[in-house]
Every structure is written in C-alpha cells, then in structure tokens.
A and B are shown apart, each in its own frame.
Chain A
Amino acid sequence: MSEEAHPPISVLPSALAETQGDGPFVAIVRSRQELCRWLNNPLPGLRWLQVEGMLGDEEAWTEAAHSNSNVPLDVVLSDPALEFSHLYRLVDAYAVRAIRVTMPAAPGLTKAIRLAAALRLPVRVLPGQPSFAALEELQEALQFYLHEPTVDAPVEFFHSVLATMCDSEAGSLWTILEKDPDVFRHYDADGRIRVPRTSDPDQSEITSAGFVENHLSHLIAQGAECATCPWQRPCSGYFKWPDPAYSCEGVKRLFLTIQTAGNEIRQDVASFAAADEGALSEPRQATR
C-alpha cells in the first residue's frame, strides 16, 4: 500500500497539533485546558488524544464524561504503582467514549492491569528494554492476561502477539505499540521528529522510510541474536532498540509463554473445526 494512501499519523504536543490540517494526528495533552480544548472542538484529522500526567485530576475526568464529542482517549500512567487506583476515575468517561490506558513495564504494572481488566479498559504496555524486575512484572501480567477468564479487553502487546502466533497478521511490536515511524511519527515540542522511543530529536534522519526493516537488517548484519530468533517477525528487533546490546533472554521467555498459549489455541481451534466438519458431513451420512 502506498504511503499516500496511509500517511503516517503525527503524534505531537497539543500546541503543535493546532497547526495540523486534515492529516491524521494524535494530540498529546498535559493539562485540563488542553484536554477540554480538543474534546470540545476537535479538528477533522484528530484520531485520539494522548493524555499524560492527568489521571489524578478528578475534574478533568468529569469534563471527559460530560463532553459531547466522542474523541477517544489514550490515558498514560507514568507510575503504575502510584497511579493504578486512579483508574476508577475513568469509569464515567469510559461510558461515553473509547478509552485505552498505556503504561510502562514498571513496578505496579500487574496491579494496574488487574484493575483495568476489572473495568474492561484496553491496555497498552510499553515494555521498552525491560529490566529484570520489569520482566518479572511482565511475566506476572502475561499470566494474568492469558489465564484469567474475566479478562475480556485486550492487553497489548500480549494480545496482538498472541494473535500473530495464532496465524493472524498483527504486524510487529513496532506497529502494535505505535512506535514504527513509518506509521506513527512522533514530534517533540519544537516540532522536530523524535528518534523512536527516545526523547532525542532525530538529527541524522534515523527515522527515514523503512526504519524498522533497516534496523533489523542492521542487527542481523551485526550478528545479533535476532538472526536465529524464532520470534524475529513479531519482534523485528524491538527489544534491541535503542541499545542493540540488550540481552533478549528474558523477553524470549515472554515470547515462549505466548507461543505456548498460541499453540494451545490453534490446537483447540483445529479440534473444533474438525468437529464442525464432522457435524456438517452428518446429513450426508444420514442419506446414505
């Protein structure tokens, strides 16, 4: 598909977003004023609002529950351990608009995912290059997502990676987590494109077209473990950025857990399909 058909979505601070035309964009809002501005008078290209540092602002969520527009919200928790219980503040707003919560793989992640699941809020976990402690949290959260029957809203990236392992095409982690610069172009406050997953301005055109493909090719050429990694396709070197020396031992365990669950689902689906086929062939047997 051509880039013209799907221009990248710009992710940019609220003030810069004012200058957007009809092109698709996500506005980052950090104050009640900014939130209300976009809720009350959204521009045509606005896809959703990325709401940062405002979960504690109860008044903001009252406004979000009352506004007439249906602009979706992506509510970012920077410290899940401290902020998780504030998710209750989203209940009213969630009754009138789509809301997703985004959080880093950090202490308190599982608590936040548990409560988000209880409130049926979709979640996006940004794993970064997880530390040992973060990997422990991710593994616990993954077990909860995979095996707790009351979970019915997706928890990304687990959800889409699981879909990939069940033969659905969900793209790589870069796309799933909205970090592929070909699809999501992130800007800093000065309007400069940011190097993916850093706050650095892109001064040497790192994010030129085909960034993910180039990054993976480069890793393989450098002899990184990606070359022989069974999860090369869904990962595409996500965990080797920005530090290519990051050891993927821990994240491979995560992928293995998801792969195992995916295999079980595929077996169940195959078994059900066989049963269905048998059921469908039953009338023919009856007429023999």
Chain B
Amino acid sequence: MSERVFSVILLPTSDCNVACDYCFEHKEPHRLSLVLVPLLTRRLLDHLENEHIEECEIYWQGGEVMIMGPAWFEKAAEIMDRAAAERGRRFVHYLQTNLIGYSPAWNGVIRGMFNGSLGTSMDYPNIHRKLFKGGATAYTELWSRKLHEAKAAGIAVGVIAVLHKGSLEVGPEKFYRYFTEELGLSDFQVNTPFPGGPAKEVEGGVQLDSSELAEFMVGLFDIWMAEGYSSGVSVGPFNALVDHFTGEQARLPCIWKENCSNQFISVDAKGTVAQCDCWVTSYPEYFFGNMFQEPDLTGMLKTSRARREFVERPKRLVEDDDCLSCRYLSICHGGCPVRTYSALGTMMAKDPYCEVYKAVFACAEAHAGEVLRARAAPIISLRERHKAADPCVVN
C-alpha cells in the first residue's frame, strides 16, 4: 500500500452565515444530503483503491460548515468511517469554520471526529469579515467570544489570517501581538490574499503591493523568530520554512507543492469536482466533472481536459518562465495556480507573489542558518574556552 495521502476539500454547503465583503464564493443554499454521503464515500474509496492509497484527509469547509449542525456531522462520519474501515482505508477529518455558529453542542463531534481541534479565520484589523447585522466590529466581538469558549472547552484552535491593506498599515508587530497576546494563540497562519471570482477582475484592496507585502512578511517573520520560535508559538508558513531550511521534515502549504493536481481535489455539495475550494466555488470553466453523475473519479481525473492545465503547469513554468533558475524552485514550483489565474487570467505563469515568496524564503534561510549556528554554539563555545585556557593555541 502506498504511503501517499490524498486530500479532499469537501464543501457540504456553499451557504454561509456571515457577509464577508471579500468572499469570492457563490453563496448557494444547497446542502449535501446525508442520502448522498454513502455514494460520495463509495466514489472516494473506489478512487483510493485504484490509486493504492490508504489514507484520505477530508478538509470540511464551506460556505460555512457549522450550518450543517453537529448531528449531521456525527452521522456523516459514521457512514464514511465505517465504509472506509470495511475496505481497509481510513478517513482523517479536519474542520475549518468561521466559528460564528459554534456552541458547546459541537464539542462532542469536534472531539470525536476532528481529534479535538479546528481551524478558523480572523484578520487583523478585521475590516472585511462582517455579520449580516452589526458589521465587522460585531463579527470580531462574536468571533472572539466563540474562540474563548472553544478554547475553554479544551479545543485546539488554529487561526488563518488573510492579509489586507489594513494589516500592512498597522505593521507586523501589532499584528503579531494581536494574535499571540490579545487572542492568546500559539498557532496561526498568514495567507496572502487573492481576489477570486472572475479572472482579472481584481477587486481594489485585495491584491497587495508586492514590496509592501514582502516587507510586512519579513517583519513578521523576524518578530516571530525573536519572540515566538523558541517559546512554542507556531506561525505558518514560517515554521515549515524554518524546518525545511534546517533539514527537518517540513509540510509546506499547498501553494508551494510540486504539483497540487496530484495531491488533492475539492468537491462541493452538488458533487462538482475541481482542483481546490477556490476553483470549485469560482471557476466553472475549470470543473473536472461531477462525482454524483460520473461513476469513476479516477477516470474523471485522468481524462479531464480542465485538469490537464494543472498537471502541465509546473512543467510549462520551468520551460517558459524563469522558475528553473530560481534557487527556491524546490520549495515553490511556481506558486499557486489560483492566485495566478485570478490575477492574470491564465495559470500558465508564475504566481504574482513571486517576489514576496522569494523575500520570505531568503528570510527563512537566514533564520535557519542562525538556528543551526545556535545548535552548534555549545561546541563552538567550548572550543573558544579551550583556546583561551591553552596558551599554545594561537587565535
């Protein structure tokens, strides 16, 4: 059996309970019926068998997943996990939610199905995440309360922050302190923004100036290394990059994979299959097919013309773009197709945040060098002391 892991970003609904103004998803009220879960499960398990893959990671997100209710998840997990066990496979479930619908009623399913952890999102300052009534301020207050309730219930919470112009204006130090001190988090991740929606229609304020964004990211990296790295604070993707450059096993984010088309797909409530949640919610021209209408997911992925572009993209970038001469090719491979497509209207170009990534990689490499030197410091220190104690050693 292969050690490969296949991941599915599963959207049981595109419906949402909030009104974030940079959301690119079509908020349809459609929900995945429990009646269809066995079929979905069978299609996935068939694919795992065809590919000789033992484990499948399911990233549940929306829309907003908590709209489905905890009882729905308990039943879905029961159906999926039992079917997987019968065929010698395993699903590992992850939950990504805006937390707004969280209540103690979720604790059982979070502990049982999601191993006691969840992922959520918050920006700083929060300008764009809004409730239907009350706007961004009310959203922040409600979200913060839910966060503290979840943490108080013993749930491990990781937070994704999407950077925007306001983040760059407040600067990396305030940004870092908000997440670590005000929210008391020891695990958060920063994502670069992208407009989503129709290609090339870049919304104002979403696409950031690369040099300003790079400066912010490097500043945040420096603060984290100075204050958080040694004290157990994890900031993604910086932690994975330091692991990489210090020779540790690193799990880099999907935007820097050799080829994301080999590693995951996204499926929405209607059975639509596309590369990731961004594609399945925004770009019908890049749908691979429909899982409920086509019996063979493996065949669909193999023959989909839309998927061909994803498969061919890294190859094309090393042929036509300047990626091959980049010293960070091994950890970037041209970056994210959807970030590229939403900004440029084609995915056959390198990620528009190339310069930002390079700045972050260089920063990670420098910090990793310091980490390695610090690890060697006890030996160097003893050597210096030895030299000082030995008059025969000429410095």
Chain B residues, CB < 8 A from A96: 2-4, 52
Q: Which stretch from A116-124, A158-166, A187-195 is at the chain B interface?
A: A116-124
Verify B333–A279 contact, CB threshold 8 A.
no
Q: With A85-B315, A279-B379 in contact, is A92–B262 under 8 Å at CB?
A: yes
Please give the distance in Å from A103's CB to the nearest CB on chain B.
Answer: 15
A117 CB contacts on chain B under 8 angstroms:
330
> Is A186 an interface residue, CB under 8 A from the partner?
no
Q: Please determine whether A150 and B386 come into contact, CB atoms closer than 8 angstroms.
A: no
* Distance A114 CA – B325 CA, assembled complex (angstroms): 8
Q: Indicate which residue in A91, A148, A279 contacts B383 across the interface (CB closer than 8 Å).
A: A279
Distance of A281 Cα from B389 Cα, bound (Å): 11
The smallest beta-carbon distance between B2 and chain A, in angstroms, is 5
Bound form: Cα–Cα A150–B266 in Å: 32
Nearest A residue to B315 via CB reads A85
Cβ-defined contact, A111 with B324, below 8 A: yes
Residues on B with C-beta less than 8 A from A118 are: 329-330, 333
Count residues of A near B (Cβ-Cβ below 8 Å): 32
Q: For B387, what are the chain A residues with a Cβ–Cβ distance below 8 Å? A: 278
A143 contacts the other chain (Cβ, under 8 Å)? no
Alpha-carbon separation in the docked complex, A200 to B315 (Å): 37
**Is A88 part of the contact surface with B, judged by Cβ < 8 Å?**
yes
- Judge if B294 is at the interface, Cβ distance under 8 Å: no
- B311 / chain A contacts, CB cutoff of 8 Å: 58
Q: Answer whether residue A264 sits at the interface, using C-beta atoms and an 8 A cutoff.
A: no
Residues of chain B with a CB closer than 8 A to A111's CB: 318, 324
Candidates A68, A149, A275, A281; contact of B380 at CB < 8 Å = A275
Are A66 and B385 neighbours in the complex by a CB distance under 8 Å? no
In the assembled complex, B248 has its CB within 8 A of some CB on chain A: no
**A58-B50 Cα distance, complex, nearest whole Å:** 17
Question: Are A92 and B4 in touch, CB under 8 angstroms?
Answer: yes
Q: Report Cα–Cα, A89/B314, bound state, in Å.
A: 10
Q: Is the CB of A95 within 8 A of B3?
A: yes
Cβ distance B383 to chain A, nearest Cβ, rounded Å: 4
For residue A95, which residues in chain B have a CB less than 8 angstroms away from its CB?
Answer: 2-4
Interface residue tally on B, bucketed by range: 35 or more
Interface residues of A, dominant DSSP: helix
Give the residues from 19 to 70 in chain A that come closer than 8 angstroms, CB to CB, to chain B: 58, 62, 65-68
Query: Across the two chains, which residue of chain B brings its CB closest to A114?
Result: B324
A18 beta carbon closer than 8 Å to chain B: no
A275 to B365, CA, bound (A): 26
Judge whether B386 and A278 touch: CB under 8 Å: yes
Evaluate contact between B328 and A278: CB separation under 8 angstroms: no
Q: Nearest-CB distance from A276 to chain B (Å)? A: 7
C-alpha spacing A266/B380, complex, angstroms: 18
A282 to chain B, nearest CB (A): 5
Question: Is B51 an interface position by the 8 A CB rule?
Answer: yes
Q: A62 vs B329: C-alpha distance in the bound complex, in angstroms?
A: 23
Instruction: Please tell me if B152 contacts chain A, counting CB pairs below 8 Å.
Output: no
A115 CB–B CB distance under 8 Å: yes
Contacts of B319 in A (CB 8 A): 85
Select the residue from A89, A148, A150, A276 with max chain B CB neighbours within 10 A: A150
**B251: CB under 8 A from chain A?**
no
Residues on B with C-beta less than 8 A from A148 are 327
CB pair A119–B258 under 8 Å, yes or no, is yes
CB atoms of B318 and A282 under 8 A apart: no
A278 to B393, CA, bound (A): 11
Which residue on chain A has the smallest CB distance to residue B316? A85
Q: Which residues of A contact B385 (CB under 8 A)?
A: 282
In the complex, what residue of chain A is closest to B361 when comparing beta carbons?
Answer: A150
Cross-chain contact B52 with A68 (CB below 8 angstroms): yes
Shortest B56–chain A CB gap in Å is 15
Cα distance, A149 to B386, chains bound together (Å):
31
Complex CA distance for A95 and B262, rounded to whole angstroms: 11
**A91 and B330 in contact (CB under 8 A), knowing A111-B324, A278-B382, A279-B386?**
no
Which of A84, A89, A91, A281 interacts with B386 by CB under 8 Å?
Answer: A281
How far is A148 from B314 in the complex, measured between Cα atoms in Å?
21
Min CB–CB distance A69 → chain B (angstroms): 11
* Nearest-Cβ distance from residue A111 to partner chain B, whole angstroms: 6
Confirm or deny: A203 has a beta carbon within 8 angstroms of a beta carbon on chain B: no
Complex formed: what's the CA distance from A65 to B311 in Å? 15
Q: Is A285 an interface residue (CB 8 A)?
A: yes
CB distance from A73 to the nearest CB of B (A): 15
Contact B315 A275 (CB under 8 A): no
User: Does B1 have its Cβ within 8 Å of any Cβ on chain A?
Assistant: yes
Contact B51 A66 (CB under 8 A): yes
- Given A91-B258, A278-B383 in contact, is the A114-B4 Cβ separation under 8 Å? no
Assess whether A68 is in contact with B3, with CB atoms less than 8 Å apart.
no
Q: Is B259 an interface residue (CB 8 A)?
A: yes
**Interface: A86 (CB within 8 A):** yes
Residues of A within 8 A of B314 (CB): 88
Q: Residue A275 contacts which of B1, B259, B383 (CB distance < 8 angstroms)?
A: B383
A91 contact from B259, B302, B365, Cβ within 8 A: B259
- Shortest CB-to-CB span from B117 to chain A, Å, is 26
Within the complex, the shortest CB–CB distance from A112 to chain B, in Å, comes to: 10
List, in ascending order, chain A residues with CB within 8 A of B315's CB.
85-86, 88-89
Report which residue of B258, B259, B331 has the largest number of chain A beta carbons within 10 angstroms of its beta carbon. Answer: B258
State in angstroms the CA–CA spacing of A115 and B52 once bound together. 27
Within 8 A of A (CB), among B372-395: 379-380, 382-383, 385-387, 389-390
Can you show 23 pairs from A to B with CB atoms below 8 A apart? A65-B51, A66-B2, A66-B50, A68-B1, A85-B316, A86-B315, A88-B258, A88-B314, A91-B258, A96-B52, A114-B324, A114-B325, A114-B329, A115-B318, A117-B330, A118-B329, A118-B333, A120-B330, A149-B365, A278-B390, A279-B379, A279-B383, A285-B389
For the complex of A and B, 7 pairs with smallest distance between CB atoms: A278-B386, A279-B382, A118-B330, A275-B383, A118-B329, A85-B315, A91-B258
Given A149-B365, A282-B382, 10 more A-B residue pairs with CB atoms under 8 Å apart are A65-B2, A66-B52, A85-B319, A95-B3, A115-B318, A150-B328, A150-B331, A278-B382, A279-B386, A282-B385
